[in-house]
Structure 1
Amino acid sequence: MESSKLLSGESPARHGGLFNPLPAKSSLTFHLFPNLPKEIRDMIWEKSLICERYIPVELWHKDKRSGDFCRSELLPPTDQEHRLVLKNPPRPNAIFCTNAESRAAACRFYRVHLPCYSAKGSQLHAPGTFWFNPELDTLEFPGFEHFTTLANDLWRHDRKKKGLRNVSFSIDGKSNFLFHCFYKGAASSDQLRQAVGRFEHVTFIHYSLPRVMLAFTRNSFCYTKRSLPFVYPRSLPVAGATGSFSRQQDPRPIEDNVLESFSFDGFPGFGRMALDWRNWFQELRAGRPCVFRFAYAADECQKPFITDEASAMEYLKDEDKKWQESFDWEIRIHATNPWRSGYTIPEQVDSGLETAFGFWTFPLEPQGPFANPPASRKAVYDLSAYRPELCVFHF
């Protein structure tokens, strides 16, 4: 839709709440469960564990001078001592602590066990255990450094020798995404080919500016004459704390112009880079089938803080406040600067639209919108040919 002119005194509406596709939890108790045969009980335990998870991971190496572990932006030697770090550890499933039988079932289900650490800032917390299911878990790497080391560790500790099947790469202007460095990080080219050859799903994810900034930013990142739509992208998912999630085609209405003007703000080369990496991975895989996607979400900085429904609602309240402040500032600017009278104020098309905490995914196709980028360093793409898949984190 076209952006509307400023209506004096018009105030933006409030948020429409959270989008939650999960049914309400039942409080019913099945008292005869202990009387079932153990084989049936084990099947029920396993059934309750089946759910995809999305988990960001990092490898921190030991600094030879200080002896401290830290994340390096450069590739450390492959034989250097390292630690697996989870910045946003997934909440343990309740099955782990129901009873001894359920815990045993959970340990079998998450069959790969690696020592790990959680981190707050630059400080590592006490060590723990990373429980990993190769079939259902997706690991997000901040760039491509260290990837092969962890992929090899997961494969060696997997009794079924499946290894890392589902991987996501967060690539931005800070990531080391040169392909020769990816090779350099592997102990051998054969090891790299084997790790990439085990892939079944590969995602390249981009985290945009916060939604309010996207709505009020004017031509900031456009190295082309096309400007961003002046619409509050309420439908755009927000990056929350990660863990269990469900996926479906997004059932919510999406504002006009949002998909037509997708912004890769600050990193206009993302689309071309993701497509190049797709092609390189396919070469390493020697044509074996694999599903490639790219993903998109807003406001990565808030990921560690949005951990439950209460913190999600607090985020939306704060977003409303920032929207109101930006809205009021625009009104004052229009009043004092007549030369800005042709500007428009971002509008909320549907104030009742619920916010999803998670991310959108789209197919990454060789002949898709990134295949022939129009202008050099273009930051806006038309993705209206796709209906996004919505991945929503479970609070």
Structure 2
Amino acid sequence: MTDVLIVGAGPTGLTLACDIARRGVAVRIIDKSPAHHRESRGKTLHPRSLEILEDLGVAHRIVAGGTTHQVFRKYFDGAHVSDIDPFAGDGPTPDAPFDSAVFIGQWRIEEILRHRLSEFGVQVELGTEMAGFTQDAEGVTAMLTDGRTVKATYLVGCDGGHSAVRGTLGVPFEGRTEDMQSMVCGDVEAEGLDRDFWHQRFTPAGAIMLWPVPGTRSFQLQASPERDEFGEPMPPTLDGFQRLFDRHAKVAGVRLRNATWRSTWRVNVRMVEQSRLGRVFLAGDAAHVHPIAGGLGMNTGIQDAYNLGWKLALALTHQAGSALLDTYEEERLPIAAWTLQLTTERLEHVLAAIKEPGNGTEVTLTTAVPQGYRRICSPPRAVPPRWQVRIRAV
């Protein structure tokens, strides 16, 4: 029997596993993927998350492997408009050593966290999928798809927007999905593009952006999707990426190749009403998903994990009771509700702003993370009444 079983080995699950393991609590972390991915996915870590990762002993490695001052090179209808570093002037001080966002591929964040976790003697169990679980007053019994069972005192679902843990709990994932409001994403090589810039190319008909992934030859591509004759978004392909680049970048001679990741992102605005049921918890995208504006998704999951880790450790070492575990839901769900509202507003703002030459995604990065997100503050009035309480961001 283990103390905590974590389902899902993304940034949320790995942060939680590291925090629990360093406190001497027995933890297992499983993931259904057969191998570790090398996809850029979420790429922005904000200062509060870096403070958390510093406490776990990995922030300096992440900063060293990422980019702290990313220049956004913006074009409109093929013409260069401006270069801007939204974080110019930010930087480390004795009181705030991580006072700037870091851009780094998600695969690298996970790799660093897995290495840290291994220093506590814990390895991610790949190719291990949960089929279901039961719980009682003594603990949780998880059934795996290969027929094995795992007994744990607590179980935490960090298994993303399609969470099997949430599904087994039967917790509704309230909200909406905007199928027509979508974007294609991928990792591609683009010979001839300057890697010192995040290229953001906008036209009246759409956009394509290419961000250089540190430590690789790839760029992360984000673009308006191609649409078929019925107006439906088409699935991403390398040929499709090239057509989108030619259409929106208006640059001859640049060929995209080696698409190691292709995905479609749709606007999802959803969250649970409960993130704890008995001995089972939900964290990260398993509990809440929202628009990408401002790059808050991975950060919110990391902060969920940090809030929960020490509380589980105290409960398991009999230094606190169940009432402390209840504060995880009380403190983190208001943050989730606030983030859903904030990112929805920011997405609407950026979609309107980029229609004017000179504007880019910095309109979200410079306004979407107020100081209150990092410390203690009150959510706006539009947050559901149940969550009209003072909230803590950690």
TM interval, shorter chain, is under 0.3
Q: Whose radius of gyration is greater, 1 or 2?
A: 1
Higher relative contact order, chain-length normalized (CA < 8 Å, sep 6+)? 1
Question: Structure 1 or 2: larger strand share?
Answer: 2
